Structure 1
Amino acid sequence: MSEIVWQKRQFGHRARLELTPAQTLLIDAQAHAARATWNLLHDFWTMTPKCRRSLKAADAAIRQARKDVDWLAVLPAQAAQAVLKTYFQAWKNCWDGRAGEPDFKARFRTVMSVDIPQGRDLNIVRVHRRWGTVQIPKIGRVRFRWTKNLPVGKRANQENRITGARLVKEALGWHIAFRIQLLEPKPEPHEGPEVGIDCGVNIPLALSDENHHDHGRPARLPDGTSDRDKWLNPNEKAKLLRLEQRAAHRKSFRKPGQRTSNRLKRTYDQIAGLRATAKRRATDWQHQTTTEIARAYGVIVVEQLDIPNMVKSAKGTVEEPGKNVAQKSGLNRSISQEAWGRTMTMLTYKTSRHGGTLHKVPAPGTSLRCSACGFTTPGSRKDQATFVCKNPDCGWSGNADWNAARYILHLYRIGLVTIPAAGRAVVRRLHDVNPTIAR
């Protein structure tokens, strides 16, 4: 009998809050105070000479500001310290080359949030099968939707506990994101088969064994244009169209430099709510699909995609205008809607949790090379859906995304994988095997 190896896992869990109107106003005030604290801290840091900048001086400035300004004091002291810690971490990320310089947070372009750094202040209690309550500093007890067994009460200890939380406001209301730490047994190595996965537009996730995963929502309308609202039902699409027309009509009366009217803001909020509903449906499908794949396969092989480069505009310049700009714009919208990056992130951590491994192979040529003979023949990829090998000795035909998935798995089997190193992808052969195309 093998010895159990324990490992510490840290992850987040988001739940919807059920707030009263009074509680909503209080949390909104805290979020605005947190944003203002960040902006005041940014002004203090950028206007102070370098010789006088220090963490101690910034902390003293925040404490003094909370004493002098009453509406800043609605933010709990620990949340204000969390703003200070986040701001300094942002500068460290900038100095290390991982991000740009911290900037001013605008009122209407910033996600409203409040941090609760210590988990012991939450005092979570489950009161019903569907609901629980959490203690929020200076707000009181708030109900939240219980969808996951949290380490609270008798289940909580030094190794299994909630270390903190963050309140986040979205288009669908306020949510609480718990930071959870668990001590779990390390999963046994997954003995499942190998599979190559190609992320496509016609087939969202094409697998090399033909066990494709499709959400049943076509990316194209009957007239050939991209359907940017495919996750909404017909009634919701009609409502979204009416709201967009209403917003455009009301916006036409606004003069340059004039503030947005409350009516227009409410219309924008309704549009954002429908967009958020569509995103939640897409994310739910991604979660269910990636979990199913991680449970079924031991080795998962995907492409090393450079998505920002893939969705660049084809408009070009005045001197050298691009070609097929409208078609490329539709393809870019379809790629962005599929959210391939989010799918890869989910596959990465879920594969590790189930004992499997995820590998990435070079992306260039996977959609143009035949998975049966290994040759790239001009004209084989006629459109987005069909692949017909023009090699006279081959003639293989099938779905283009399935062909790419088969070739992706072949690249892994010959040991051609990418390993990130110093900000770039290094291609290495990990093992020598028979370089025969997988059939």
Structure 2
Amino acid sequence: MSGELAWEKRQLGHRARLALSPAQARLMDDQAHAARATWNLLHDFWTMTPKCRRSLKAADAAIRQARKDVEWLGVLPAQAAQAVLKTYFQAWRNCWDGRAEEPNFKARIRSVMSVDIPQGRDLQIKRVHRRWGMVNIPKIGRVRFRWTKDLPIGKHADKDHRITGARLVKDALGWHIAFRIQTLEPKPEPRQGPKVGIDAGVNLPLALSDGNHQDHGRPARLPDGTADRDKWLNTDEKAKLLRLEQRAAHRKSFRKPKERFSNRLRSTYDQIKQLRARATRRAADWQHKTTTILARTYGTVVVEQLNITNMVKSAKGTVDQPGTNVAAKSGLNRSISQEAWGRAVTMLTYKTARNGGTLVKVPAPNTSLRCSACGFITSGSREDQATFVCKSPDCGWSGNADWNAARNILHLYRIGHTWAVPAAGRAVVRRTRGVKPAAAR
């Protein structure tokens, strides 16, 4: 082998919190509303125009004319408006390729407020303090942002290591800036590290086949047995959230049908959103740290191919055929959504690749019902949610149910029963024939 290193370009992202003045925050809100309105006008133009006259040039001309005719659309920088056009056409390409649904109208209350800055040279980033930096935002001015990671600026920036743009995003905790960073890094060599199967659960977030389970220490259920939907909040925050929800319900009782929310009710809802967003950030922080450790420790990570959308569907049913155990299923759906299994798999996918490892998916059916010691499925083995007891007379193995599933997941990979997605996009199962089930060790 040659001693020369192989290099590859990587597109990274870094999100930082902005410190805006009230005037700057209002200007930022105006730009976000203008960007959303530009998307809606572009969508109306595209859907109402005959197919023979639809083109990128015609849409660009329509946007330019709209910015001249509608004065408040001018608060959005021209490059940001062009970024909306580019994003809209990419959404249609994703639809045509079968990766997403058709682009639709963006409602004010359901859309994320965001503004794109497509060119990195407009940012003019400068570090002014150990904890703070300055960034230039078009038509806003110089704004401070929280410095938590070294960025390729100044003498550290070149054509291979640079910031190519940014995106301004608003959530319940305020405005943030997400930098798009392009770097040139040595391509990691394939790692021959240990293999591990991971089962995502509710009681145990990430159960590993080698017994090195990852738990965030926040129980999924309260002492009375009900699901804890606010487990990422401390006791004081839970008490505050309860008071705010009671206050919101009281103020909402005075609201007439189809009447606009009062400022007091809207303020209460904003405070509830802030607590929810804080809990989400804590959960994502734990997942980032945990998946980083797993990607650096193991060479091959095996997970289940789960259809989480179908797993969290409501059991309410219809009027003619009502569902059963609706409340229990609702609590389970809420717990699954809180654990964010799909986000954890996404993190593991790119982190294992960056560390030279691989991530493999295996079919999910019966991984939690099959005994990892004897390979048989017997009725009554799952007496409760946390324990697995094999009812086979020749086995009798018992252990943690999530650990048992993780061992089965690793065993499916070892016998070649893996999940692959061919070029056509249709999922198939690849299996090695002639291999009998055996204990996953």
Using the size of structure 1 for normalisation, the TM-score is 0.97
State whether residues 411 and 417 of structure 1, in contact with CA within 8 Å, keep that contact through their aligned partners in structure 2.
yes
Within 2, Cα distance between the matches of 1:400 and 1:326? Answer: 23
1:93-124 deviation per Cα after TM superposition (whole angstroms, max 9, x unaligned): 22333222222212222111100001111111
Which amino acid in 2 is paired with 1:297? Answer: Y
Query: 2:150 maps to what in 1?
Result: 149
Within 2, Cα distance between the matches of 1:289 and 1:432? Answer: 37
Cα 1:108–1:320 shift into 2, 3 Å: closer
Within 2, Cα distance between the matches of 1:112 and 1:430? Answer: 49
Within 1, Cα distance between the matches of 2:346 and 2:383? Answer: 31
Q: CA deviation at 1:236?
A: 0.5
Equivalences for 1:25-64 in 2 at 5 Å? 25-64=26-65
Which amino acid in 2 is paired with 1:222? Answer: P
1:386-405 deviation per Cα after TM superposition (whole angstroms, max 9, x unaligned): 00100111010000000001
How many pairs does the alignment contain? Answer: 439
State whether residues 381 and 389 of structure 2, in contact with CA within 8 Å, keep that contact through their aligned partners in structure 1.
yes
Equivalences for 1:128-167 in 2 at 5 Å? 128-167=129-168
Query: 1:224 maps to what in 2?
Result: 225
Equivalences for 1:9-408 in 2 at 5 Å? 9-408=10-409
Within 1, Cα distance between the matches of 2:323 and 2:44? Answer: 43
Are 2:426 and 1:424 equivalent residues in the alignment? yes
State whether residues 373 and 438 of structure 2, in contact with CA within 8 Å, keep that contact through their aligned partners in structure 1.
no
Q: CA deviation at 1:2?
A: 2.9
Within 1, Cα distance between the matches of 2:119 and 2:427? Answer: 38
1:212-269 deviation per Cα after TM superposition (whole angstroms, max 9, x unaligned): 0100000011111100000000111111111111111111111112111111111111
State whether residues 315 and 330 of structure 2, in contact with CA within 8 Å, keep that contact through their aligned partners in structure 1.
yes
Using the size of structure 2 for normalisation, the TM-score is 0.96
Which amino acid in 2 is paired with 1:31? Answer: A
Within 2, Cα distance between the matches of 1:301 and 1:89? Answer: 32
Within 1, Cα distance between the matches of 2:209 and 2:259? Answer: 56
Runs of 4+ in 1 over 6 A off after TM superposition: 430-434
* 3-state SS in 1 of match to 2:410: helix
Within 1, Cα distance between the matches of 2:11 and 2:118? Answer: 15
Deviates more, 1:312-321 or 1:59-68: 312-321
Q: CA deviation at 1:432?
A: 8.2
Q: CA deviation at 1:141?
A: 1.0
Which amino acid in 1 is paired with 2:272? Answer: I
Within 2, Cα distance between the matches of 1:239 and 1:263? Answer: 16
Within 2, Cα distance between the matches of 1:392 and 1:7? Answer: 55
Within 2, Cα distance between the matches of 1:35 and 1:206? Answer: 42
Within 1, Cα distance between the matches of 2:433 and 2:288? Answer: 32
Deviates more, 1:86-95 or 1:8-17: 86-95
Query: 2:8 maps to what in 1?
Result: 7
State whether residues 251 and 264 of structure 1, in contact with CA within 8 Å, keep that contact through their aligned partners in structure 2.
yes
* 3-state SS in 1 of match to 2:168: strand
State whether residues 375 and 437 of structure 2, in contact with CA within 8 Å, keep that contact through their aligned partners in structure 1.
no
Deviates more, 1:349-358 or 1:68-77: 68-77
Query: 1:413 maps to what in 2?
Result: 414
* 3-state SS in 2 of match to 1:316: coil
Runs of 5+ unmatched residues, structure 2: none
Which amino acid in 2 is paired with 1:292? Answer: I
* 3-state SS in 2 of match to 1:7: strand
State whether residues 413 and 433 of structure 1, in contact with CA within 8 Å, keep that contact through their aligned partners in structure 2.
no
Within 2, Cα distance between the matches of 1:381 and 1:362? Answer: 20
1:156-179 deviation per Cα after TM superposition (whole angstroms, max 9, x unaligned): 111111111100001000000111
Which amino acid in 2 is paired with 1:306? Answer: N
Q: CA deviation at 1:140?
A: 1.0
Q: CA deviation at 1:375?
A: 0.4
* 3-state SS in 2 of match to 1:231: coil
Within 2, Cα distance between the matches of 1:97 and 1:400? Answer: 37
State whether residues 305 and 363 of structure 1, in contact with CA within 8 Å, keep that contact through their aligned partners in structure 2.
yes
State whether residues 420 and 426 of structure 1, in contact with CA within 8 Å, keep that contact through their aligned partners in structure 2.
yes
Within 1, Cα distance between the matches of 2:25 and 2:56? Answer: 33
Within 1, Cα distance between the matches of 2:142 and 2:397? Answer: 64
Deviates more, 1:96-105 or 1:405-414: 96-105
Q: CA deviation at 1:430?
A: 6.2
* 3-state SS in 1 of match to 2:181: strand
State whether residues 302 and 408 of structure 1, in contact with CA within 8 Å, keep that contact through their aligned partners in structure 2.
yes
* 3-state SS in 2 of match to 1:343: helix
Within 2, Cα distance between the matches of 1:91 and 1:408? Answer: 37
Within 2, Cα distance between the matches of 1:356 and 1:145? Answer: 32
* 3-state SS in 1 of match to 2:427: strand
Are 2:440 and 1:438 equivalent residues in the alignment? yes
State whether residues 196 and 300 of structure 2, in contact with CA within 8 Å, keep that contact through their aligned partners in structure 1.
yes
State whether residues 417 and 430 of structure 1, in contact with CA within 8 Å, keep that contact through their aligned partners in structure 2.
no
